[in-house]
């Protein structure tokens, strides 16, 4: 599996007399969906809908594995946010039942097992219950058949999932920001290991496994939208805290702070509030260009960084600046930015990063392609600084990150920074190299 997945979004809507497909469309829009047009969904009628979004992957062909996954007789659909490092149990089960199809990816394998149980005469609820123990990994799922909407979150709560109310109906969404967009009110976060079943008889909750919360810190660092709330923490506030903590950890003598929009903007506000150093929005985002992370190859990625973020030389000339960004993955974005700032006349370019060095690959969400491509897996901070050409480089400490989020350390998954993987990687364990720089 050598592809790079980015943040996915999922939604599920249930309500008689509600325009459920239209609501799902707008909710996906909040989760940054880009494929459907409003008229595409106008003819979709019914009282239950689910939807899913995903950015293209490095292999291109984004539609090959488009979701929701729909079974062969169109009676059941599933949307999955997250990633399963190991699918061994699902594969073993399906092949023992002679129900294994070729080239099925993780989400499709889950759907195939559920479908197997449905075909045996089980209800959707019962089929999901029976399938749950076979799924190893990070998953928030929404599923539907003609009368029931079901949502399930893995026992670790790795990916978020929230429940909301709209009129007499219900909404499930991977981020709370999608609820507000469609006028729904937040009811609660679906708990790790919890299943929610909504149908004619109402709504019920079934705990399928003991909760063992290990929420992915990357939701706070980069994935989630600033207007989403996760574990009672507003993402905007958490990111502001990152900036405040950075200001306590690293005092810089600079003329201005320049955030890399959009994620780092609240971080810069926090840094400025504590340090008293003013912010300059000297990097302007071209709103017509999509994110760079999804570009399949290095060259086009580099090109789109230049298109996407435009510096203001009039503001930068002769200044010592501290540039704030959320994370360094491969290092391309930052290298390009440092060059741009110096070219625009900046005298010193210090870098502040609101997360620790990413030394280990991700298996639960974005599925980074290869540990070698992570710059911090083989360069220490000083070597990275040199590579980027920055005056200085400072990463937020792991303790600072956790303190800023405000949840207990044991409830957070920090695998990309620490190499500690709360969900067993099983057959993929060997992909992790622990011989990484210490500093």
Site string for ligand 5GP, 254-273 (x = CB under 6 A): ---------x----------
Residue 328 binds which one of ligand 5GP, Mg ion, none, with CB within 5 to 8 A depending on kind? ligand 5GP
Residue 258 binds which one of Mg ion, ligand 5GP, none, with CB within 5 to 8 A depending on kind? none
CA-based angle 148:151:152, to the nearest 5? Answer: 135
Give least dist CB 5 to ligand 5GP, A. Answer: 8
Residue 296 binds which one of ligand 5GP, Mg ion, none, with CB within 5 to 8 A depending on kind? none
Site string for ligand 5GP, 174-213 (x = CB under 6 A): ----------------------------------------
d(CA 97, CA 24): 35
d(CA 34, CA 29): 7
**Which residue has 């497909």 as its token pair?**
21
Catalytic: 8? Answer: yes
Residue 302 binds which one of Mg ion, ligand 5GP, none, with CB within 5 to 8 A depending on kind? none
Number of residues that bind Mg ion (CB under 5 A): 2
d(CA 98, CA 90): 12
Q: Report whether 373 contacts 175 (CB < 8 A).
A: no
Contacts of 32 (CB under 8 A, 6+ apart): 7, 9, 53
Residues between 301 and 360 that touch ligand 5GP (CB under 6 A)? 325-334
d(CA 237, CA 229): 10
Distances in Å between the Cα of 160 and the Cα atoms of 222, 337, 367 are: 14, 32, 17
Provide the β-strand partners of residue 153.
140
Provide the β-strand partners of residue 173.
11, 162
**Which residue has 């909040």 as its token pair?**
30
By C-beta, is 101 or 291 nearer to ligand 5GP?
291
Contacts of 305 (CB under 8 A, 6+ apart): 292, 332, 333, 336, 337
Residues between 238 and 267 that touch Mg ion (CB under 5 A)? 260
By C-beta, is 199 or 332 nearer to ligand 5GP?
332
Q: Select which of 8, 177, 334, 416 is catalytic.
A: 8
By C-beta, is 259 or 361 nearer to Mg ion?
259
By C-beta, is 109 or 221 nearer to Mg ion?
221
Q: Which of 26, 222, 242, 341 binds ligand 5GP (CB under 6 A)?
A: 222
Q: Which residues are catalytic?
A: 8
């Amino acid at each position: 599996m050598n592809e790079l997945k980015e943040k996915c979004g999922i939604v599920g809507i249930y309500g008689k007399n509600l325009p459920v497909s239209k609501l799902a469309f707008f909710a996906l829009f909040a989760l940054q969906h880009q494929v459907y047009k409003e008229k595409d969904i106008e003819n979709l009628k019914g009282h239950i809908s689910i939807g899913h979004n995903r950015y293209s992957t490095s292999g291109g062909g984004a539609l090959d594995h488009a979701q929701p996954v729909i079974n062969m007789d169109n009676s059941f659909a599933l949307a999955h946010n997250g990633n399963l490092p190991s699918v061994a149990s699902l594969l073993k089960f399906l092949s023992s039942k002679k129900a294994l199809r070729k080239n099925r990816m993780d989400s499709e394998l889950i759907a195939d097992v559920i479908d197997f149980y449905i075909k045996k005469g089980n209800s959707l609820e019962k089929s999901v219950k029976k399938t749950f123990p076979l799924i190893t990994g990070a998953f928030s799922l929404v599923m539907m058949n003609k009368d029931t909407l079901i949502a399930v979150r893995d026992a670790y709560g790795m990916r978020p999932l929230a429940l909301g109310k709209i009129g007499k109906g219900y909404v499930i969404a991977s981020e709370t920001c999608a609820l507000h967009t469609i006028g729904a009110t937040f009811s609660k976060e679906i708990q790790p290991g919890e299943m929610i079943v909504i149908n004619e008889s109402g709504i019920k909750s079934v705990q399928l496994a003991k909760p063992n919360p290990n929420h992915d810190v990357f939701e706070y660092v980069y994935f989630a939208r600033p207007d989403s709330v996760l574990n009672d923490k507003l993402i905007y506030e958490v990111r502001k805290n990152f900036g405040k903590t950075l200001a306590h950890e690293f005092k810089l003598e600079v003329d201005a702070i320049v955030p890399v929009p959009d994620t780092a903007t609240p971080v810069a506000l926090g840094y400025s509030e504590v340090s008293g150093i003013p912010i300059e929005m000297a990097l302007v985002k071209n709103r017509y260009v999509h994110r760079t992370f999804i570009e399949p190859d290095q060259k086009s990625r580099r090109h789109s960084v230049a298109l996407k973020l435009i510096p203001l030389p009039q503001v930068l000339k002769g200044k010592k600046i501290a540039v704030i960004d959320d994370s360094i993955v491969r290092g391309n974005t930052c290298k390009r930015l440092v060059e741009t700032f110096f070219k625009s006349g900046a005298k010193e370019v210090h870098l502040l990063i609101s997360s620790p060095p990413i030394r280990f690959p991700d298996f639960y969400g974005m599925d980074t392609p290869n540990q070698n491509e992570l710059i911090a897996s083989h360069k220490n901070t000083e070597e990275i600084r040199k590579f980027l050409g920055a005056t200085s480089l400072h990463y937020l400490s792991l303790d600072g990150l956790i303190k800023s989020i405000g949840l207990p350390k044991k409830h957070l998954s920090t695998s990309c920074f620490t190499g500690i993987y709360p969900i067993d990687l099983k057959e993929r364990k060997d992909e992790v190299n622990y011989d990484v720089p210490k500093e």
